[in-house]
Structure 1
Amino acid sequence: MSTLRLDRRTLLRGAAAGGGLLGLQGLLPAWAQTGSAGLRADLPTLTGPNIELTVGHTPFTVGSRTGHAVTINGVLPAPLLRLREGQNVRLSVANTLDEDTSIHWHGLLVPFQMDGVPGISFPGIRARETFVYEFPIKQSGTFWYHSHSNLQEAMGHYGPIVIDPANADPVAYEREHVLVLSDWSFMHPHEILAKLKKSPGYFNQQRTTLAGLMDGSDRMSLEERRMWGQMRMDPRDILDVSGSTYTYLINGHGPQENWTGLFRPGERVRLRIINASAMSIFNVRIPGLPMTVVQADGENVRPVETDEFQISVAETYDVIVQPTEDRAYTIVSEAIDRSGMGRATLAPRLGMTAEVPPLREVPNLTMRDMGMGGMDHGAMGDMSGMDHDAISGMDHAAPTQNAPAAGEMAGMSMSGMNMRDPENAPPDMAVGVGVDAIAMDPANRLGERPIGLTTVDHRVLVYTDLVSLQPNKDPRPPSRTMEIHLTGNMERFMWGFDGRKFSELVEPIRFERNERVRVTLVNDTMMAHPIHLHGHFFELVTGGPAGHQPLKHTVNVAPGGKVTFDLTADAPGDWAFHCHMLMHMHAGMFNVVKVRPMDGAAS
């Protein structure tokens, strides 16, 4: 039977009681309100070869309000599953909901029938029924699990997984803490999606203003604002859903509740950090305490010290910190649009706190984020050589003239530029209503500091810093190449691959079993897209040491950027391939990868 160290169902239900302090918290913005009161710092943990999970409804309290969560075993986040490499595990999942549910084991290498995606790898778990997942544990590291049904993930249906290695761990540490970052809204996710469909900027309350122009706080000139306006684009459209409705949680705790993890000065502390949010990308830092990254997406990397890193939706990073002083440190997970933050504490004793830094200034998008990577190097400031009166030719609501070649753009009149010109599109892209922009000069941005961190005065992790600790298993060069465009229509909140939504019965992506393929993802939109491939890891082409390029199962493709990875299609079956922004996936950025043959058959 599974072992449970702590049942928090009653704690969640009793969290509504909070006295006068919680009453005052209704005056705070959503991101600053507290999570459920009374929760302990340690996560309830399930272990052993037989684990029982129950999906159900649970009240969840943030501040003075109680909402409805979909949870596993009554807790949010779900229990930590502690497994060991080489064991077999049997997970019995009982569904007490009145609708179907599912569990996907994110990053785990399992038979495709156990992958947990309804309609792709299994039928789903019907209401009032039980499904048993059973598979061998083939790897070690930090992973997580979540629903792949009906936006339940946004309502609390997610939890962490830690798999201990069969042999000695190459990472030395005396203590560890698992940190599950997430976002929470009292608004039902289907209502959030409906509002985005009607008004994509509904949750963006940080747009440029006349007052910001006058006092300089928007950091944009009148000409720059005019250009953005004529293109009908918003330089502050960074996250679709923001802290105007989200409270940012760490282990189910809001910022004021202050989840606290303990340490003894001098200890090496391993932090296993998981971004389990629905729609939020975070910039993570611990002021005054450097972090050494030792693992990415469950794969060990050569240690690299940094002061801040960006973690996109569904990514995981393990870091080592070694606080030597008898003092508290604040863990900050700041939304990349600076609309709010998650906050927790590392301390030698409970009750200690450290200064919580204020939210930093809202970043502005740049020409590179529009897919004009050749036009500047991350700033919009010097645009004196451009004809701003003619910039309305970039209207991407309907095709007009052909766009000039990328190399001709710098310093020229932009009168002939049209970001939706079908001439810019690859032959197999459907340039219809689902495509409102085509990147004219997308850039490889793996070595660039991510959004909001370009000018900070400390070290920032970038993808090219990651180097696999062990040699990659498949040294073969790719036998073919493939290009996939990430496309969308911001005004209609439509998303897809190569201009097509999944609901349009798109052709699956097909690989021969064990073939080696180089895939390039091109982001034609101005939004970041964390792209996840089920059942496989791929090697990011970073230009790093040969045979040691980092292995990932999820990669964030920056706006106007492109990412190339090498894939060995060694897992037969049907696998989901999608953006892990939950609303983007639900609105169409999803496809199926078919790897054939299966067990020698040609099916």
Structure 2
Amino acid sequence: MSSWIIDRRALLGAAGQLGGVALAGQATPGWAKTLSQGAAALPQSEVLSGEAITLRIGKGHVTIGGKPAKAITINGTVPGPMLQLKEGQMLRLTVINELDEPSSLHWHGLVLPFQMDGVPGVSFPGIPPRSSFTYEFPIVQHGTYWYHSHSGLQEMMGCYAPIVIEPAEALPALLPSMREHVVLLSDHSFVNPARIARNLKVEADYYNRQPQTLSGLMAGHELSLDQRLSWAKMRMSPTDIADVTASVMHYLANGHGPDENWTGLFSPGEPVRLRFINAASMTFFNVRIPGLAMQVVAADGQDVQPVTVEEFQFGAGETYDVIVTPQNRAYTIAAETMDRSGMARATLAPAAGMTAPVPPRRARPLLTMKDMGMDMSGGAMKGMSMKMRDGSLAPQVKMGPGVDMISAMPEDRMSDPGIGMGDVGHKVLTYRDLVALHPNPDLRAPEREIEVHLTGAMERYMWSMDGKTMSQAHEPIPMRKGERVRFTLVNDTMMAHPIHLHGHIFELVTGHGDHSPRKHTVTVQPGGKASFDVTAEPGDWAFHCHLFLHMAMGMMRVVQVRPA
């Protein structure tokens, strides 16, 4: 199981292999062309649907700002082709690996037999170079999902694409027929991912180009001198919002950079469904459409009672469906990175060629003591550094150089809109806003609780769970088939982590009883905690942070579900 964690030697080896990628001609899948009439308007020749589909993983490039960047493609494109499926059908997918290295595809968020989940070393051996593998499984759900490689550096190099599954029976009263657009957000770099990882190992804030400055201190901006000295004594930085930023990444909407301006068309006054997918490797996005409210109707493919917001923040691996009703003008879809160093941009317009003003990037946020799991309401920061590594607060955590803090007072942060979103002046979605549209399928109370600590050492760029990397954790997390379990995730780091459990849809513990929101990926805020209840499905399942390099460095475990 430990063999698929990417160590330094493997990263450098992959860099050598991918360094020779030849630049093939780039095509764009029909659903992602710069001007879109909507998914329903796609000709049948540009749709991958039905019960038998063939996909090819190969080398190519993606054009960003007129320049080619090396990429791993699906059917020759970045992103790859959209799969349009129907709940209740059988699906047979033949995946041909045209690379000179092993590959795989994982069907993110789908409930399926574990042998078909697509994680090498966990659920199947992988797809050897120049060979193929056939996935076969029933489609038992509907909604917005995506698929991506789970091998080597391939996901970070563009090997991903959307999945849209129509419900078995239409619900016209609740889900009326309307124009739909997929908006898949991602990040891509001209720098090889192995080099990015090496730079972070050498200097964890290598890509943080928004530090506090002396001129800012003298001007009285942000933190005082005493506060800055206190952070420095703890060897922490309040500007460590993201470890991979716009200094090395470019941000794409449906494979297009901001200047290419992907545009989705609409008729004024008609409702439009936007299926947002965060397929980025290392980026949280803050999504808003200035001048246009969004009605959230699904989270991670699961229907929710409509909730109106102006903005939402989501992590890698998460999806949201929203309904908007635009008028006779153009609107900018602004997907600002959480650290506000960059932005993906797209447009909604009633006619081709129309654009709207692009909002300027907002000021970079700062972390607080709350993000360190410390309640400062009763005193100042003095002496706090002495309490940062109190192992008695988390006995199951293996203390060592890979753990630089334990949250002293982690709070449930399900009502938190996300880093930097508390003072934006308008309604931002929170997990507690989400209420399932239908009663949950399993209303049993959990039989037991499993607490997992998300641990790390920023200065050493080490990431783990319970103080152990994947290669160090020789025992899986055990469960029994059908068992009802509560997971509580405690974030002992100062970065947000989107945690994904393969093969399961779980219920967030947010106080909504039998209508708890259901998801497959949950973001745990810095210094905070999050809980979900889940019914165990048989098999071996990956359980990891969906920030690619955090997972690669070891923030991953295997959940092993055996017969009762």
Confirm or deny a common fold (TM above 0.5): yes
Residue in 2 aligned with 1:489? 457
Q: Of residues 248, 255, 260 in structure 1, which corresponds to 2:258?
A: 255
- Is 1:587 the counterpart of 2:556? The answer is no
Deviation per CA, 1:437-494: give whole Å up to 9, x if none.
0000001010122111110111111000000000001111111111110001111111
On the 8 A contact 1:197/1:493 being kept in 2, the answer is yes
How far does residue 145 in structure 1 lie from its aligned partner after superposition? 0.1
On the 8 A contact 2:34/2:260 being kept in 1, the answer is no
Residue in 1 aligned with 2:126? 124
Residue in 2 aligned with 1:436? 404
Residue in 2 aligned with 1:5? none
Deviation per CA, 1:123-181: give whole Å up to 9, x if none.
00010001111111000000000000002101000000000000014322420000000
Q: Which runs of 5+ in 2 are unaligned?
A: 1-22, 40-45
On the 8 A contact 1:173/1:270 being kept in 2, the answer is no
On the 8 A contact 1:472/1:547 being kept in 2, the answer is yes
Q: Distance in 1 between matches of 2:257 and 2:400?
A: 42
Q: Of residues 565, 574, 584 in structure 1, which corresponds to 2:532?
A: 565
How far does residue 118 in structure 1 lie from its aligned partner after superposition? 0.2
On the 8 A contact 1:500/1:506 being kept in 2, the answer is no
Amino acid at match of 1:589: M
> Secondary structure at 2:237's aligned position in 1?
coil
Residue in 2 aligned with 1:298? 301
What is the Cα-based RMSD across aligned positions, in Å? 1.6
Residue in 2 aligned with 1:73? 75
How far does residue 230 in structure 1 lie from its aligned partner after superposition? 1.4
On the 8 A contact 1:172/1:268 being kept in 2, the answer is no
How far does residue 111 in structure 1 lie from its aligned partner after superposition? 0.4
Q: Distance in 1 between matches of 2:429 and 2:85?
A: 29
Matches within 5 A, 1:194-593: 194-217=198-221, 219-324=222-327, 326-372=328-374, 374-376=375-377, 385-386=379-380, 390-391=382-383, 394=385, 417-424=386-393, 426-544=394-512, 546-569=513-536, 571-593=537-559
Q: Distance in 2 between matches of 1:216 and 1:265?
A: 47
Change in Cα spacing, 1:280 to 1:547, as seen in structure 2 (3 Å) is same
Q: Distance in 1 between matches of 2:415 and 2:191?
A: 37
Q: Distance in 2 between matches of 1:45 and 1:428?
A: 49
Residue in 1 aligned with 2:9? none
Q: Distance in 1 between matches of 2:468 and 2:451?
A: 15
Amino acid at match of 2:25: R
On the 8 A contact 1:173/1:268 being kept in 2, the answer is no
How far does residue 67 in structure 1 lie from its aligned partner after superposition? 1.7
Residue in 1 aligned with 2:3? none
> Secondary structure at 1:121's aligned position in 2?
coil
Q: Distance in 1 between matches of 2:34 and 2:474?
A: 45
Q: Distance in 2 between matches of 1:353 and 1:534?
A: 39
Residue in 2 aligned with 1:404? none
On the 8 A contact 1:12/1:61 being kept in 2, the answer is no
Judge which range, 102-111 or 56-65, deviates more.
56-65
Residue in 2 aligned with 1:13? 25
Q: Distance in 2 between matches of 1:38 and 1:160?
A: 14
Amino acid at match of 1:117: V
Residue in 1 aligned with 2:184? 180
Q: Distance in 2 between matches of 1:45 and 1:522?
A: 42
Q: Distance in 1 between matches of 2:440 and 2:186?
A: 31
Greater RCO between the two (CA within 8 Å, min separation 6)? 2
Change in Cα spacing, 1:285 to 1:293, as seen in structure 2 (3 Å) is same
Residue in 1 aligned with 2:8? none
> Secondary structure at 1:503's aligned position in 2?
coil
Residue in 2 aligned with 1:410? none
How far does residue 213 in structure 1 lie from its aligned partner after superposition? 1.4
Q: Distance in 2 between matches of 1:153 and 1:14?
A: 18
Deviation per CA, 1:258-316: give whole Å up to 9, x if none.
00000001111000000000000000000000000000000000000000001111000
Deviation per CA, 1:27-85: give whole Å up to 9, x if none.
xxxxxxxxxx9845367531111111000011222124212110100111110000000
Q: Of residues 107, 112, 115 in structure 1, which corresponds to 2:114?
A: 112
On the 8 A contact 2:61/2:73 being kept in 1, the answer is no
Amino acid at match of 2:175: V
> Secondary structure at 2:48's aligned position in 1?
strand
Judge which range, 172-181 or 143-152, deviates more.
172-181
- Identity among equivalent positions (%) equals 58
Amino acid at match of 1:580: H
On the 8 A contact 1:12/1:75 being kept in 2, the answer is no
Change in Cα spacing, 1:596 to 1:76, as seen in structure 2 (3 Å) is same
Judge which range, 342-351 or 442-451, deviates more.
442-451
Amino acid at match of 1:295: A
On the 8 A contact 1:173/1:267 being kept in 2, the answer is no
Please report the TM-score for the alignment, with normalisation by the length of structure 1: 0.86
> Secondary structure at 1:205's aligned position in 2?
coil
Number of aligned residues: 529
> Secondary structure at 2:392's aligned position in 1?
helix
Q: Of residues 48, 52, 70 in structure 2, which corresponds to 1:50?
A: 52
Q: Which runs of 5+ in 1 are unaligned?
A: 1-10, 16-36, 377-382, 395-416
> Secondary structure at 1:319's aligned position in 2?
strand
On the 8 A contact 1:55/1:93 being kept in 2, the answer is yes
Amino acid at match of 1:93: V
Q: Distance in 2 between matches of 1:478 and 1:60?
A: 46
> Secondary structure at 2:255's aligned position in 1?
coil
How far does residue 517 in structure 1 lie from its aligned partner after superposition? 1.0
